[in-house]
Amino acid sequence: MACWCTLPYPIVAELLGREGFPAVVLDQQHGLWDTAATLAGIAAVHQAGAAPIVRVPIGDFATVSRALDFGAEGIIAPMINTAADARAFVAAAKFPPIGERSWGPHRSMTFAGISQAKVYLREANDLTVAMAMIETRHALDNLDTILATPGIDGVFVGPFDLSIALVEGKSVDPDLPEVDDALAAIANAANSAKKIAGVFCHASKRAPTLAKRGFRFITAGTDMGFLRAGLAATRRDLKG
For the segment 200-239, what is each residue's pLDDT rounded down to a tens digit?
998 888 999 999 999 999 999 999 999 999 999 999 999 8
* One-letter identity of residue 146: I
Residues identified as active-site: 30
For the chain, percent of residues with pLDDT exceeding 70: 100
| Per-residue pLDDT band at 153 (split at 50, 70, 90) | very high
- pLDDT given at position 240: 72
Average pLDDT of the residues in 1-17: 97
Half-sphere exposure of 70 (CA within 13 A, CB side): 27
Average pLDDT of the residues in 70-82: 98
| Per-residue pLDDT band at 9 (split at 50, 70, 90) | very high
Q: Just give the CATH number of 2-239.
A: 3.20.20.60
* One-letter identity of residue 97: P
Q: Measure the CA–CA gap between 83 and 105, rounded to whole angstroms.
A: 27
Say whether pLDDT at 117 is over 80: yes
The pTM (predicted TM-score) of the whole model is: 0.96
Q: Measure the CA–CA gap between 5 and 66, rounded to whole angstroms.
A: 19
Which one, of 162, 159, 165, lies nearest residue 206 by Cα? 159
- pLDDT given at position 202: 84
- Cα distances (Å, whole numbers) of residue 215 to 8, 20, 52, 181: 27, 19, 19, 14
- pLDDT given at position 55: 98
- pLDDT given at position 169: 95
| Per-residue pLDDT band at 44 (split at 50, 70, 90) | very high
Which one, of 94, 149, 89, lies nearest residue 127 by Cα? 94
* One-letter identity of residue 158: G
- pLDDT given at position 204: 87
Kindly report, residue by residue over 170-191, the tens digit of the pLDDT: 999 999 999 999 999 999 999 9
- pLDDT given at position 203: 84
Average pLDDT of the residues in 52-80: 98
Kindly report, residue by residue over 83-102, the tens digit of the pLDDT: 999 999 999 999 999 999 99
